[in-house]
Amino acid sequence: MTDGYSTGDVTRMLDLAPARVRRLAAAGLVAPKRGESGEYSFDFVDLVVLRTARDLLQDGVPFAHVRRALQRLRDNLPDDRSLTELRIGTANNRVVVREEQSVWEAETRQLLLDFEIYELADALPPLLDPRPTPPPPEVLDAGDWYDLGCELEPTSAEEAAAAYRRAIAADPDHVDAHVNLGRLMHEAEDLETAEMHYRRALELRSSDLTARFNLGVALEDLGRLPEARNAYRETVLADPNHADAHYNLAGVFERLGQRNRAVKHLQAYRRLVAAGWESDERSP
């Protein structure tokens, strides 16, 4: 990113969960720019809106009301003056703006009597540096980095992988970070690294069927068919209704020349599909 605030910066400065930032953006309250890799770049107006949304929601204002009020707020903010000249806050579950000697409600533009509100702009730094300082590792814990990785996946696999690595650095036993990072490495065709993370996840949580199944896929892609067969068999033993594992196991048995076993698992796959069984596991 060359300008603006990243999702990590927003998370750090506003103490706002990545999932909440994502929901507010999806609702159209903010319109962040996208970088070359699809990553978000929030501007100062976005920060003002997100901060106000956070306070309203924490005060118990319904999300629909927050969305309506802040959409009006964005529309009514003047374009010909700096936001640092305004004071924006909440009072009685309303979004209010103090502009010079007047105070008005964001949703209706109705003038209000003056009252004491905090000055939001002072809490946010101006966009002076071409690249914001990334959040230091100690600010976010493993869960925060994991959530950030999940958010980044649809737009930037590289940044998502970096976030998962941060999660693992903060907590080497974070199973889900290992699983997701393994899948991203698998998609990037780094099969050995993917295998390492899948196996580490299984060391920490042997019952994780996503890691077990994805390990089988990685081993199959590596050409290690007997090991892939074992991983798929362990998956169907733990979950006989795992349709994808039956299907992949049939393919491995076919390649190993064990046609009768291949047919058995292919029939199991077809029965499960006909019965409406679909795997919830995320595979590469």
pLDDT tens digits for 101-117? 566 666 666 655 443 33
In a domain, 137, yes or no: no
The residue with greater pLDDT, 254 or 89, is 254
Same domain, 119 and 148: no
CATH code for position 76:
1.10.1660.10
Q: Report the chain's mean pLDDT, rounded to a whole number.
A: 76
Task: Grade residue 80 by pLDDT with cuts at 50, 70 and 90.
Answer: low
Q: What is the mean pLDDT of residues 185-204?
A: 95
**How many alpha carbons lie under 13 Å from residue 258 in its C-beta half-sphere?**
14
Residue with tokens 């000697």: 101
CATH code for position 190:
1.25.40.10
Task: Grade residue 28 by pLDDT with cuts at 50, 70 and 90.
Answer: confident
Residue 215 vs residues 33, 52, 177: alpha-carbon distances, Å: 37, 45, 15
Same domain, 267 and 153: yes
Same domain, 198 and 114: no
Question: Burial of 144 by CB count in 10 Å (0-12 exposed, 13-18 middle, 19+ buried)?
Answer: buried
In a domain, 205, yes or no: yes
On whether the CB atoms of residues 198 and 177 are closer than 8 A, the answer is no
In a domain, 2, yes or no: no
Please report, as a single letter, which amino acid is at residue 123.
A
Residue 130 DSSP code: S
In a domain, 68, yes or no: yes
pLDDT tens digits for 138-189? 457 888 888 888 877 877 788 888 889 989 998 999 999 999 999 999 999 9
Q: What is the pTM of this model?
A: 0.54
Same domain, 116 and 149: no
Same domain, 68 and 187: no
Same domain, 172 and 222: yes
- Highest mean pLDDT out of 93-97, 105-109, 157-161, 203-207: 203-207
pLDDT tens digits for 53-76? 787 777 777 777 778 777 776 666
Residue with tokens 């374009």: 79
Q: What is the model's pLDDT at position 31?
A: 78
Tell me the helix, strand and coil percentages in the chain, rounded to 5: 55, 10, 35
Between CA 195 and CA 89 the distance in angstroms is 50
Same domain, 249 and 172: yes
Task: Grade residue 199 by pLDDT with cuts at 50, 70 and 90.
Answer: very high
Between CA 63 and CA 56 the distance in angstroms is 9
Structure tokens belonging to residue 62: 């319904």
> Which residue, 63, 96, 123, sits at the end of a domain?
123
The residue with greater pLDDT, 232 or 78, is 232
| Structural domain count, the chain | 2
Nearest to 277 by CA among 236, 222, 225: 236
> Which residue, 96, 123, 150, sits at the end of a domain?
123
> Which residue, 54, 89, 123, sits at the end of a domain?
123
On whether the CB atoms of residues 213 and 281 are closer than 8 A, the answer is yes
In a domain, 279, yes or no: no
Structural domain including 171 reads 142-274
